[in-house]
Amino acid sequence: MGRYIIKRIIAGLITMFVLTTVTFFLMHAIPGGPFSPAEERKVPKAVMEKVQEKYGLNDPVHIQYVNYLKNLAQGDFGISFKQTSVTVNELIEQGFPVSAKVGLIAIIVALLVGIPLGITSAIKRGKWADWLSMIIATVGISIPNFVLSVLLLFLFAVVLKILPTFGLTSWQHYILPVTCLAFSPIAYIARLMRSSMLEVMRYDYIRTARAKGVHELQVICKHALKNAIIPIVTYLGPLVAILLTGSFVIERIFSIPGIGRDFVSSISDRDYSVILGMTVFFGAFIVICNIIVDILYAVIDRRIKIDE
Amino acid sequence: MKLLQINNLKTTFHIEAGQVQAVRGISFHVDRGESVGIVGESGSGKSVSMLSIMRLLPENAKIDADRLTFDGTEIMDMDQKQMRRLHGNDIGMIFQDPMTSLNPLFTIGDQIMEPIRIHQKLSKSEAKKRAIEVLKMVEIPSPESRLNQYPHEFSGGMRQRVMIAIAISCNPKLLIADEPTTALDVTIQAQILDLMSDLKKKGNTSIVLITHDLGVVASMCSRIIVMYGGEIVEEGTTREVFYNPQHPYTWGLMRSMPKVTEGEKKKLIPIPGSPPDLLSPPKGCAFAARCEHAMKICTQMSPVPISLSESHRAACWLMHPKAAKVERGVGS
C-alpha cells in the first residue's frame, strides 16, 4: 500500500511537470502579454522596459521557465501581474475555501439526490418513477449550467423574490449556486447508478441474498448498493476536483469570490503567474483526487490488489 | 404428512415475443426426510419449478397452481414477511454456480451470519459461533480464520461448501440444491455429494436435488422425477426408474450416461435434436419430435400419465395397451 502510494505520487509529479511545461510555453505562445499596451493608451517605451524588467519578462522564455520552476519547487507561485502586491498563493488561499465550500455542498447534494434517484429508477424500471427520474436526468445532462443558473435566478430572485441573487452571506445565498452546480452531476450520477444497479440486480448473489430471507430493502441497500456504487466512485474523483476548485461560470454569475473567477479573468488579462498557478493547483488537485479514488476502490472491493 | 405439495404448477414468462411456458402443469410432493431428484436437460423447467416455489423468479414470471403448500401452508397466499421466514429458515437453497452466488464484497463470515442473525435472532457473537459450527459441518479447515476472508480467497469447491453452510445454517426443513455440482470439477463433485449425503443422514432435512446427471441422483435420492419440456414425463422410486423405465426420454437419458463399471469402451448415445420451443409448445407429446418410437397420436394428443405402481407413473403413448411393443433402448 505504502509503496503504491509513493509510486502514484511520483507519477503525479511527472504529470504535474508536463502540465506546467505545456501550459507555460502555450501561454507564452499566445500573442500579447500582461503589459501589452492598449491601443488608446501610449505607455512610454522606457517605462514599459522598466516594468517588463521588474517582472522578469525581458529574459528569454527558457530562462523565465527555469526561474518559474525554481520558485514553484519552493511552493511559490509568484505574484500577480495584474493585481498589485497580491501573490498567487494569497489568491488561492482566499478563493479556494470559498469555492471548496460551495463545491463540497454541491457534491453532497449530488450524491444524496443522485444515488437514491438512480436506485429508485432501477427498481421501478419502466414505471412512472423511472420515467420521471430519467427525464430529470436527461434534462440535467442537456441543459448547461449557465442557462440553468440564469433561469433559476430569473424565477427565484426576480419573479418570486425569495432568494438573493449574488454573494454568499447567508445560507439562502447557497441555494441557487449549489443547485446549479449539483444539477448535472445529479443527472449523471442517477443515470450511472441506474444502469449499474440494473446490472447488479441480475447477479446470482442477489438471488442468494433473497433466498437467505434478507429483507428486500437490505438486498438493495446492502448487497446491491455496495457492488453498484463502484462506477460512482470512479466518477467522483474528477467531480470532486472540478467542483471544489470552483466553477468559472457559476462563480461569475453569482458573484462568488472563489478561485474559478480569478482563473477566468487571469486568462483574458494574460496574468501569467495566476494562469500557471491556478493550472498547477487544479492539476495537483485532480491527481490527488484520482489517487484517493484508486485507494477507495481497494477499500470497497478487496479483490483489487493495488500493490501489483 | 407431506412437507411440500405441488398440484398443477404452471410458470409462464412474459417476454416481448410472447409467453414462454416454462413449467406446464406439474404435480409432485416431497415427504419429510425424503430426498427427491429432479432430472432433465437444460430448459426442461427443473430450476424454474423450484424457483417458482421459492417465488424467486423475475417480475415477468407468472406463477399459477392449484395447490402449492409447504408444511401445510399455502405458499401463494404468503405475504412478504412469511416468504422471508420461508427463505433461508424453512427452505435452504444451494445454487449451481458457486463462483457467482456469493457476494464478492462481503466476507464469508458476514454472509453466513446473515441468515442466522435474521432468522434465529442471535447476537453477533452467538451467530459467529454458529457460523463456525456450520463451517465445521461442511468440513472447511480452520473456520475461525476463514470467516474474515472474501469469496475470491476460496476455491470453487470451497465456495460451494460455504453455500451449503449458508443453506443449512438455520436447520431448514427442506434443502433445494440446484445443480450443486455442475460447475465443479469431477473430484470436487464427489466430495460435495458425499458431504450432502452425510448431512442428509445426520439431520432430518428433506432434499430436492436438481440435476441433469442420473448418476448423481442414483447415489443420493430415493425418488426420481424426470422432466421434459416443462412437464413431468416419468416419476418413481430410484429403483423403479432405473430398472423399469417407461418413457423413451428416460431411456435416452440412461443411454447418454457413462458407465464406469463396464470394462469395454462403449460410445455414449446422445439424444438427437433439441428441446421444444416453449414459446409455442407442441400440441401432442413434447418429446415426440425427438422420439424414435413416435407414433401418429404422439404429435396430436398429449399422453395421460399412467400409474404402474403407487409411486411409479409415466406419460407416454407407448404404455397404451393398443401401442406396439417396442424394444426398450436402455441398452440392457
- CB contact (8 A) between residue B115 and residue A213: yes
Would you call B56 and A210 a contact, using CB atoms and an 8 Å cutoff? yes
Given this model, what pLDDT does residue B331 score? 44
All residues of chain A having their beta carbon less than 8 Å from the beta carbon of residue B114 are 209, 212, 214
B105:A214 CB<8 A:
no
CA neighbor of B5 nearest in space, from B229, B174, B231, B169: B174
**Shortest Cα–Cα distance, B59 to chain A (Å):** 11
> Which residue matches cell numbers 469431477?
B186
Asked if the ipTM is above 0.95, the reply is no
CATH number at residue A188: 1.10.3720.10
* Number of residues that make up chain A: 308
Q: Are B37 and B220 in contact (CB under 8 A)?
A: yes
What domain count does chain B have? 1
Q: Is residue B9 part of a domain?
A: yes
Chain B interface residues facing chain A, Cβ-Cβ under 8 Å? 54, 56, 80, 84-89, 92-93, 95, 97, 100-106, 114-115, 118-119, 150, 152, 163, 166
**Contact call for A213 and B119, based on CB within 8 A:** yes
Asked, for residue B82, whether it belongs to a domain, the answer is yes
pLDDT, greater one: B108 or B182? B108
Secondary element (H or E) of residue A119? helix A88-123
Q: Which of A204, A210, A226 sits opposite B97 (nearest CB)?
A: A204
Along the 308 residues of chain A, how does pLDDT read in single tens digits?
Answer: 778 888 888 998 999 999 999 988 888 887 777 776 655 566 777 777 777 777 777 777 888 888 888 888 888 888 777 777 788 888 888 888 888 888 899 999 999 999 999 999 998 888 888 898 888 888 888 888 888 888 888 888 888 877 777 777 778 788 888 888 888 899 999 999 999 999 999 899 999 999 999 998 889 989 999 999 988 988 888 888 888 876 778 888 888 888 887 787 788 777 888 888 888 888 888 888 888 888 888 888 877 776 55
Domain contains B128: no
Of B89, B101, B103, which has the smallest distance from its Cβ to A213's Cβ?
A: B89
Q: How confident is the model at residue B13 (pLDDT cuts 50, 70, 90)?
A: very high
CB contact under 8 A, A213 and B87: yes
Residues of B in contact with A214 (CB under 8 A): 84, 88, 114-115, 118
Give the pLDDT confidence score for residue B332 in this predicted structure: 39
Chain A CB contacts of B89 under 8 Å are 213
Distance CA A271, CA A277 (A): 10
**Residue B62 domain-assigned (yes or no):** yes
Q: Shortest Cα distance from A221 to chain B (angstroms)?
A: 13
Q: How many CB pairs under 8 A join A and B?
A: 71
Task: Provide the H-helix boundaries in A201-271.
Answer: 204-211, 216-218, 225-228, 230-244, 248-253, 259-268
Nearest CB to B105; choose among A204, A214, A227 = A227
Q: DSSP state, B291?
A: -
Q: A224 to chain B nearest CA, in Å?
A: 9
Say whether pLDDT at B236 is over 80: yes
Q: What is the CA radius of gyration of chain A?
A: 24
Q: By the 8 A CB rule, do A81 and A269 touch?
A: yes
Chain B residues with CB-CB distance to A208 below 8 A: 93, 95, 101-103, 163, 166
Contact B6, B27 (CB under 8 A): yes
Q: Taking CB atoms and an 8 Å limit, are A226 and B105 in contact across chains?
A: yes
Does B261 reside within a domain? yes
Residue A225: closest CA among chain B residues belongs to which residue?
B105
Query: How far does A83 lie from chain B, in Å, by closest CA?
Result: 53
A127 touches chain B (CB under 8 A): no
The DSSP code for A125 is T
| A219 contacts in chain B (CB < 8 Å) | none
Distance from the Cα of B100 to chain A's closest Cα (Å) equals 6
Lowest mean pLDDT among A36-40, B232-236, B254-258: A36-40
| Mean pLDDT estimate for chain B | 87
Are B100 and A212 in contact (CB < 8 Å)? no
Nearest to B107, CA basis, from B59, B154, B39? B154
- Distance from the Cα of B105 to chain A's closest Cα (Å) equals 6
pLDDT of residue B329: 54
Q: Determine if residue A270 is left, alpha or beta; phi over 0 gives left, psi from -120 to 50 gives alpha, anything else beta.
A: left
pLDDT band at B321 (very low <50, low <70, confident <90, very high): confident
Contact A211 B54 (CB under 8 A): yes
B260 domain residue, yes or no:
yes
In a domain, B79, yes or no: yes
Q: What is the largest CA-CA distance in chain A?
A: 86
Q: Give the cell for residue B91.
A: 427452505
Judged by CB atoms closer than 8 Å, whether chains meet at B105 and A208 is answered as no
Angle, CA of B93, B98 and B103, to the nearest 5°: 85
B103 Cα to chain A: minimum distance (Å): 5
Using a pLDDT cut of 90, give the percent of chain B over it. Answer: 33
Burial class (CB in 10 A: 0-12, 13-18, 19+), B327: exposed
- The CA angle B92-B93-B95, to the nearest 5 degrees, is 160
CATH of the domain at B281: 3.40.50.300
Q: Let me know if A160 is exposed, middle or buried by CB neighbors in 10 A (0-12, 13-18, 19+).
A: exposed
The answer for residues whose C-beta is within 8 angstroms of residue B85's C-beta and 6 or more apart is A213, B119
Decide: helix, strand or coil at residue B269: coil
Give the list of residues 6+ apart from residue A282 with CB closer than 8 angstroms, or none. A241, A245, A263
For residue B261, the model assigns a pLDDT of 63
Shortest CA gap B84–chain A (Å): 4
Assigned C-alpha cell, B249 = 426420454
Residue among B138, B158, B209, B201 at smallest CA distance from B180: B209
Q: Does A305 touch chain B (CB under 8 A)?
A: no
What total of structural domains would you count in chain A?
A: 1
Residue pLDDT, tens place only, B26-49 = 999 999 889 999 998 888 888 899
Tell whether B52 is covered by a domain. yes
Domain interval for residue B311: 2-100+173-319
Instruction: Kindly state the helix (H) or strand (E) to which residue A133 belongs, with its residue range.
Output: helix A128-142
> Which residue of chain B is at minimal alpha-carbon distance from A211?
B87
Assess A223–B contact: CB distance below 8 Å, yes or no: yes
- Check if the beta carbon of residue B193 is closer than 8 Å to that of residue B220: yes
The reply to whether A208 touches chain B by the CB within 8 Å rule is yes
3-state secondary structure (DSSP) of residue B160: helix
